[in-house]
Amino acid sequence: MIDVTALDDLGHFRNEWLDAHHHFSFGGYMNPDRMGFGPLRVWNDDTIFAKGGFPPHDHRDMEIITYVREGAITHEDNLGNRGRTEAGDVQIMSAGTGIRHSEFNVGDVTTRIFQIWITPDRDGHTPRWETKAFPRGEHASALVLLASGRDQDTALDAPIIQQDAALFGATLAAGKSVTHGFAPDRKGYLVPSRGTVTVNGTAVGERAGAAIGGETEITITAIGDAEIVLADLP
């Protein structure tokens, strides 16, 4: 099963500094048929205009992964963390028992991010923030592990999330393919951040979402130059 939801069919919100598309119910967008996919609860496609951002606000008991597609985002929280995450990199925030943070595009150019929320394996983890830079060459025609809580990935140098899930990123030149296998009873959610791909022959347009279930392996092929983000979920 590969079920594709086009960008135009996602939830949408816009104000003076934010243009957001919601893959699942979030904020003022409520769709009872799109409340998440396994532990994946939120996948927001946010365009943050220069000098705009999210003022200080609270989270708890959620794994929040921010993948920066263009520009940069600056994070600051009540734990004393402050950092700038640039395009191609990720930041991980385990909200745990509670964290208060802000995220701003302090630059003069537009920032585009995916913000991905995954419910943790239990409540009450210690709050934590981490950022990870990935060499750009590693993304070429290969799935690069961006974050994981799977037992099989504990020895790898990737940020940890508190859930049996993994997030991958890849860039693919036109015509190139990459494969990913799913263990039994696992599923995936794939979004091309740039370009159009096929997944086992099914077309997935730029910034559309593909819910993948019942597949032991997928082959992702770029129609033109493309970049994808894939979540492997229990």
Positive or negative torsion for Cα 157, 160, 165, 167: negative
What is the spatial distance between Cα 122 and Cα 69, in angstroms, rounded to a whole number? 30
Instruction: Please name every residue paired with 13 in a beta bridge, in sequence order, or none if there are none.
Output: 20
Model confidence at 136: pLDDT above 70: no
**For residue 52, what are the CA distances in angstroms to 3, 35, 58, 172?**
34, 28, 18, 31
In degrees, rounded to 5, the angle at the alpha carbon of residue 145 between the alpha carbons of residues 142 and 150 is: 135
Give me the pLDDT at residue 156, please: 81
- Contact call for residues 115 and 53 (beta carbons, < 8 A): no
Query: How many domains, the chain?
Result: 1
The CATH number given to whatever domain includes residue 211 is 2.60.120.10
Please report which confidence band the pLDDT of residue 60 belongs to, taking 50, 70 and 90 as the band edges.
very high
Q: Which residue has the higher pLDDT, 142 or 66?
A: 66
Using the predicted structure, report yes or no on whether residue 52 has a pLDDT greater than 70.
yes
Residue 90 has pLDDT above 70, yes or no: yes
CA–CA separation, 43 and 84 (whole Å)? 21
Predicted local confidence at residue 101, as pLDDT: 93
- Residue span of the structural domain in which 180 resides: 2-233
pLDDT digits (tens, 9 = 90+) for 161-170: 999 999 999 9
| Side chain identity at residue 12, one-letter code | H
Cα–Cα nearest to 150, from 183, 128, 179: 183
Structure tokens at 132: 């990870």
pLDDT at 207 over 80: yes
The 3-state secondary structure of 196-234, one letter per residue:
CEEECCEEECCCCEEEECCCCEEEEEECCCEEEEEEEEC
Which of helix, strand or coil describes residue 192? strand
Predicted TM-score (pTM) of the model is 0.95
Does the pLDDT of residue 157 top 90, yes or no?
A: no
Average pLDDT of the chain is 94
Q: Evaluate whether 163 touches 119 at the Cβ level (below 8 Å).
A: yes
